[in-house]
Amino acid sequence: MKFFIDTADLNEIREAARLGLIDGVTTNPSLVAKTGRKYLDVVREICEVVDGPISAEVLSTDYDGMMAEARAWAKVHRNVVVKLPLTLEGLRATRTCKQEGTRTNVTLCFSANQALLAAKAGASFISPFVGRLDDASEDGMNLIEDIVTIYKNYGFKTEVLVASVRHPVHVMQAALLGADVCTIPYKVIEQLAKHPLTDVGLAKFIEDSKKIPR
């Protein structure tokens, strides 16, 4: 399973890249707004740090506006993947991007039928939001299971990108279900490596190592 980092914070991206733990980056307007910087500047800088798919979202909601933005994003860097909303207009734009050779990440997916449409439109990635489904008293991971099954049934090439990840169990479940990618906030990446028994065990090894004759 590939790991993307879900942030627009360059410090977090640099640190995760330094650790060698990430294969790509996903951004969205809410994450970029937190930086106080221009979206284009942020994406350009990310492209200098990470050599992998970097999702940059369109802000328009109509087909012509989305396509104008998608074409502009595609010119920024070969690694930019255009993020489009899961609407009828977004699906139409997804198909055009596919025809033009631009990779897409269809976002805001909350149902298996939406994911089916995105795959039929030729999306490179589908982003089901598991955390937000959990927040609405549904089990987000059931959706991942359904999408993985449907894509397998028909041999769709669209990669399942588990998004809206809130905790390490989401990551583990995504891996168990065979999702292609998990996009993870920096805090959760850190949590993945932690276990209290690792800390206790390491402290004991360090203490005992002092007793080894030098």
Choose which of 13, 22, 26, 69 interacts with ligand G3P (CB under 6 A).
Answer: 26
Segment contacting ligand G3P (CB under 6 A): 17-25, 45-53, 126-134, 172-180? 126-134
What's the longest Cα–Cα distance across the chain? 73
Active site residue 211: no
Task: State the binding string over 149-178 for ligand G3P (x if CB under 6 A, else -).
Answer: --------------xx--------------
Q: Which residue's CB comes closest to ligand G3P?
A: 164
Residues 6+ apart with CB under 8 A from 116: 150
> What sections of the chain are H helices per DSSP?
10-18, 29-35, 39-49, 63-76, 88-100, 112-120, 130-135, 140-154, 168-176, 186-193, 196-209
Q: Please work out the total of residues on this chain that contact ligand G3P, with binding judged by CB under 6 A.
A: 9
DSSP β-bridge partners for residue 181: 2, 161
CB of 114 to ligand G3P, least distance (A): 15
Determine the Cα–Cα distance for residues 121 and 92; give it in Å rounded to an integer: 7
Residue from the set 86, 125, 183, 188 that interacts with ligand G3P by CB under 6 A: 183
Residues with catalytic annotation?
83
Binding stretches for ligand G3P (CB under 6 A) = 6, 26, 28, 129, 131-132, 163-164, 183
